[in-house]
């Protein structure tokens, strides 16, 4: 977010206008985040998948829309499939592969592989 003093330095803006712009921007971002979280839950994307810090709220909705809702769904993807869902601008192949391997970790906790 743009610092208050930088906004206030724009011709015609004072600190009150700058503060109001920041307040409105924060309210809009909070509203959008809430809507995306609601959509994620509607789509059935689990909290386990949402716990991956690499995913934005928008990414989680995109995953849900493609049927990736559980750790097993995520673990079944290939790196290029994950990148296709979240966008190449949002994730490298290395990061996608790390996420998928982390999603697969629970498969091996008891020493067996369900595959």
| Structural domain spans, the chain | 1-43, 44-115
Query: How far apart (Å, rounded) are the C-alpha atoms in residues 73 and 104?
Result: 10
Does the domain at residues 44-115 carry the CATH identifier 1.10.150?
yes
Q: What does the pLDDT look like over 30-85, one tens digit per residue?
A: 999 899 999 999 999 999 999 999 999 999 999 999 999 999 999 999 999 999 99
pTM for this entry = 0.76
The two three-digit tokens of residue 54, written as one number = 């690499």
Confidence of residue 27 (pLDDT cuts 50, 70, 90): very high
Closest listed residue to residue 61, CA positions, set 23, 88, 96, 34: 34
Which of 64-73, 83-92, 102-111 is the least confident region? Answer: 102-111
Confidence of residue 12 (pLDDT cuts 50, 70, 90): confident
| pLDDT value of residue 98 | 97
Query: How far apart (Å, rounded) are the C-alpha atoms in residues 79 and 76?
Result: 10
């Amino acid at each position: 977010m743009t610092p208050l003093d930088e906004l206030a330095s724009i011709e015609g803006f004072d600190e009150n206008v700058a503060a109001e712009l920041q307040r409105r921007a924060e309210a809009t971002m909070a509203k959008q985040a809430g809507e995306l979280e609601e959509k994620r839950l509607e789509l059935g994307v689990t909290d386990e998948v949402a716990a991956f810090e690499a995913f934005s709220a928008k990414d989680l909705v995109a995953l849900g829309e493609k049927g990736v809702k559980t750790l097993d769904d995520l673990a079944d993807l290939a790196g290029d499939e994950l990148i296709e869902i979240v966008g190449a601008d949002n994730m490298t192949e290395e990061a996608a592969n790390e996420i998928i391997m982390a999603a697969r970790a629970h498969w091996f906790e008891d020493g067996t592989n369900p595959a």
